[in-house]
Amino acid sequence: MFSPYEGIRDVFLRGRDIELYIYDRYGLLISHNKAGDGWDGTYKGKFVDPGVYVYVAKLSDGTVKKGTIEVIKE
């Protein structure tokens, strides 16, 4: 789970050497980050709606991790 709204767990998958892609449930790319800054839960400057999002993380060693992350509003 990930909750960007209240400052609790406010960045998803931050880390050096991670290229991160976030997609909504329709397959729309809503975030792409090459700098390892993670995802702050926004799309076009506004917080996304609570729900399930798909991530693809490409690590510097070539490993690709895929999964889902649930954005919640507590």
Per-residue model confidence as pLDDT tens digits over 25-56: 999 999 998 877 888 888 998 989 999 999 99
For the chain, the first-to-last Cα distance in angstroms comes to 11
**Segment 5-31 mean pLDDT:** 81
For residue 73, the 8-state DSSP code is -
The continuous run of DSSP H or E covering 31 comes out as strand 29-33
Collapsed DSSP state (helix, strand, coil) of residue 62: coil
Average pLDDT for the chain? 85
**Segment 12-26 mean pLDDT:** 84
Return the higher-pLDDT residue of 22 and 12.
22
> What's the half-sphere exposure (Cβ side, CA atoms, 13 Å) at 74?
10
